[in-house]
């Protein structure tokens, strides 16, 4: 917005408040800053009686002071429609939202791609929107997956009315089995979302999980919340935005979306319903920010289909397509193209097989009879009759395509003339591994097509023009950009301001932030525990920052183990010191360094013996300190030093 441009006054529909017969004690509403004074005389009398009772029950001076402050504020506000009540910030963590306040707390998905989890609170009830995981980056050595911290949910599990899921991608459903092992809550989702979750429940041996299959544009009651699922376009069928209705106002979570007028399944996004919500009034919108940096609009899946057909038409040998297993629309389009060119389809990868099985069983995918063959049958067909759909589009080391490119796959080898299509864009951080796989494929004689060469992939997220349309249709009073790194959230916030939204009504949040709002104002009121929980093998949360630091230290500098055998009674060395090196230097080529290191340890042990030092902890620290300084002086490296003293 330019400086000379006049500021337009925003039109805002206020949902009328419902009259309540209950009486609330004003001093108990610690998170509520503004309280409507225009109440019935009976309610005012009830409040005064409650306050008087409190005063008689407690003789503490603090209570009297609070009474006096409240009376003063009532007098001062005689000309104003509202009363302001002070709240202690440290109370926010343990109290409910104010009686007429809604609270939003993201526990994941802010300033990151993945592990989306948002908590909506109203009065004494909670609603969870999505519960996903993320995958480890290069610095998370040995970690399999990353979960959001659910401590806040576990502490407040008696308030949770349910989990509503926008769609079936891992970053939105992957952490649900781990949540259900702690809390038994109902799960609400569409048919494919629940179908994919059912497979996860089997893998985690979870029984008696209550799931509710929802239909679009119908309202479901979850305690004091009403929720409505609205159709959106994304890279997976049955994706939804979720409208959450409360007495205070409506919250809209767009989920992951793009506006595709020619989707593969013909199910166009329900823009009409979003326009209706905008007319009815939306108090808060939480919207996908993944592609907020990209101008224009996201290309349609039909454009990708045409590029695929051109690639298939020119292929003279086998075709291998790598894509996300959860991109069901893309899988359907690839199968359709294979059928058009009379190619048999081989599915490779456990996650890919699971998605095909679930989607076909639910009728979400239409797979022609006889087109799928087992990987063991490929030798029965000519190479120009075969299409392989595989995992590994992100260069994952253990994925099928990576093993094929390295020549390590037991059943499939890359051959001269094979056409490999990467029908996916790199997730931030995976560019190097994908580049390595592409280079290995070229070296083995394959032709490779990827996103920068041809339009063989399109995003499932809205670009700037689509985001503008969503904002103009919904017209929210308050706005939280979600689902993105900080740069994505910032660009989405800037876009909203360019459309005329006031900056003070836009909130870029961090995981754990608590945002509280009513129809008049919105503010940050505190934080709760949030962060990554690492899953390594069967261990959940047992690998923390200290273990990760040690792993990084070992990976970067290696390990040196010093073994000394001592007679503890006489404090004399019986054998050693022996030195073992792993990942630091090759011992056979560094014998002089090892001999000098032994001498340094021997000298330090003698010094400590002369001083009468017998505590093993002091002996170990002495060995570690002397050897650390020596090795750094000689090599400018700091390996992890592990002294072991054996009592003989």
Q: Are 254 and 265 in contact (CB under 8 A)?
A: no
Burial class (CB in 10 A: 0-12, 13-18, 19+), 541: middle
Residue-wise DSSP of 61-108: HHHHHHHHHHHHHHHHGGGSSEEE----GGGTTTSPPPTT-EEEEEEE
Residue-wise DSSP of 103-127: EEEEEESBSBSS--EEEEEETTEEE
- Told to judge if 471 belongs to the known catalytic residues of this protein, a careful annotator would answer no
Q: How many CA atoms lie within 13 A of 97 on its CB side?
A: 24
Catalytic residue among 32, 288, 518, 536: 288
Q: Distance between CA 448 and CA 417 in Å, rounded?
A: 10
Q: Are 540 and 180 in contact (CB under 8 A)?
A: no
Q: Where are the beta strands (DSSP E) in 455-571?
A: 478-482, 513-517, 522-527, 532-536, 539-540, 559-567
What's the residue count for the chain?
648
Q: Distance between CA 460 and CA 465 in Å, rounded?
A: 14
- Told to judge if 204 belongs to the known catalytic residues of this protein, a careful annotator would answer no
Q: Distance between CA 17 and CA 511 in Å, rounded?
A: 31
Q: Distance between CA 322 and CA 330 in Å, rounded?
A: 11
Q: How many CA atoms lie within 13 A of 286 on its CB side?
A: 29
Catalytic residue among 461, 483, 488, 492: 461
Across the beta sheet with 225-231, the strand order is 219-222, 225-231, 240-245, 250-253, 284-288, 478-482
Q: Are 601 and 626 in contact (CB under 8 A)?
A: yes
Burial class (CB in 10 A: 0-12, 13-18, 19+), 193: buried
Q: Distance between CA 617 and CA 1 in Å, rounded?
A: 65
Mapped to the 3 state alphabet, what secondary structure does 282-293 carry?
Answer: CCEEEEECCCCC
Per the DSSP assignment, residues forming a β-bridge with 390 are 322, 348
Question: Cis peptide before 577, with omega less than 30 degrees from 0?
Answer: yes
Taking phi first (over 0 means left), then psi (-120 to 50 degrees means alpha), and beta for anything else, what does residue 238 get?
Answer: left
Cβ neighbours, 10 Å, residue 454: 14
Q: Are 312 and 280 in contact (CB under 8 A)?
A: no
Q: Distance between CA 516 and CA 493 in Å, rounded?
A: 19
List active site positions. Answer: 288, 461
């Amino acid at each position: 917005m330019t400086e000379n441009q006049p500021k337009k006054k925003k039109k805002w529909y206020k949902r009328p408040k419902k009259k309540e017969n209950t009486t609330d004690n004003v001093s108990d509403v610690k998170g509520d800053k503004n309280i409507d004074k225009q109440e019935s005389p009976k309610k005012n009398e009830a409040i005064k009686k409650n306050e008087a009772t409190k005063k008689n029950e407690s003789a503490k001076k603090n209570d009297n002071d609070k009474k006096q402050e409240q009376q003063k504020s009532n007098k001062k506000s005689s000309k104003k429609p509202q009363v302001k009540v002070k709240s202690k910030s440290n109370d926010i963590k343990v109290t409910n939202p104010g009686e007429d306040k809604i609270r939003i707390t993201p526990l994941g998905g802010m300033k990151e791609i993945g592990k989306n989890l948002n908590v909506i609170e109203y009065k004494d009830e909670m609603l969870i929107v999505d519960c996903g995981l993320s995958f480890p980056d290069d610095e998370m050595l040995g970690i399999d997956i990353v979960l959001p911290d659910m401590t806040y949910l576990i502490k407040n599990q008696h308030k949770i009315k349910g989990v509503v899921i926008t769609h079936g991608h891992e970053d939105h459903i992957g952490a649900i089995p781990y949540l259900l092992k702690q809390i038994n809550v109902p799960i609400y989702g569409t048919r494919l979302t629940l179908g994919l979750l059912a497979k996860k429940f089997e893998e985690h041996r979870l029984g008696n999980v209550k799931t509710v299959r929802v239909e679009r544009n119908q309202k479901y009651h979850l305690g004091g919340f009403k929720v409505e699922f609205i159709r959106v376009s994304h890279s997976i069928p049955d994706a939804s935005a979720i409208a959450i209705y409360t007495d205070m106002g409506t919250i809209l979570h767009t989920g992951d979306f793009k506006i595709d007028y020619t989707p593969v399944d013909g199910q166009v996004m329900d823009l009409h319903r979003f326009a209706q919500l905008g007319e009815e009034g939306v108090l808060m919108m939480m919207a996908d920010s993944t592609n907020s940096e990209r101008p224009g609009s996201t290309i349609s899946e039909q454009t990708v289909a045409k590029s695929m057909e051109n690639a298939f038409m020119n292929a003279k040998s086998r075709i291998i397509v790598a894509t996300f297993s959860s991109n069901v629309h893309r899988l359907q389009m690839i199968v359709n193209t294979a059928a058009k060119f009379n190619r048999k389809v081989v599915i490779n990868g456990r996650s890919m097989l699971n998605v095909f099985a679930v989607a076909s069983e639910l009728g979400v995918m239409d797979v022609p009879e006889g087109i799928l063959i087992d990987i063991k049958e490929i030798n029965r067909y000519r190479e120009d009759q075969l299409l392989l759909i595989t995992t590994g589009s992100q260069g994952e080391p253990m994925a099928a395509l990576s093993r094929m490119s390295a020549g390590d796959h037991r059943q499939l080898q890359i051959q001269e003339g094979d056409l490999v299509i990467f029908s996916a864009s790199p997730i931030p951080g995976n560019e190097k591994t994908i580049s390595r796989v592409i280079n290995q494929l070229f070296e083995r004689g394959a032709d490779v097509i990827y996103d920068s060469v041809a339009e063989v992939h399109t995003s499932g997220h809205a670009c700037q023009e689509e985001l503008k349309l969503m904002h103009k249709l919904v017209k929210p009073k308050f706005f939280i950009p979600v689902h993105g790194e900080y740069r994505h959230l910032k660009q989405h916030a800037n876009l909203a301001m360019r459309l005329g939204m006031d900056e003070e009504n836009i909130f870029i949040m961090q995981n754990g932030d608590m945002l509280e709002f009513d129809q008049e104002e919105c503010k940050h009121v505190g934080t709760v525990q949030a962060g990554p929980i690492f899953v390594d093998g069967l261990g959940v949360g047992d690998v923390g920052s200290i273990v990760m630091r040690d792993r990084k230290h070992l990976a970067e500098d290696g390990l040196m183990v010093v073994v000394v055998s001592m007679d503890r009674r006489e404090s004399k060395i019986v054998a050693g010191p022996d030195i073992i090196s792993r990942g630091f230097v090759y011992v056979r080529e560094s014998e002089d360094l090892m001999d000098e290191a032994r001498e340094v340890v021997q000298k330090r042990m003698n010094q400590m013996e002369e001083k009468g030092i017998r505590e093993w902890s002091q002996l170990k620290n002495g060995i570690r300190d002397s050897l650390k300084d020596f090795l750094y002086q000689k090599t400018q490296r700091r390996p992890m030093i592990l002294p072991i003293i054996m009592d003989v």
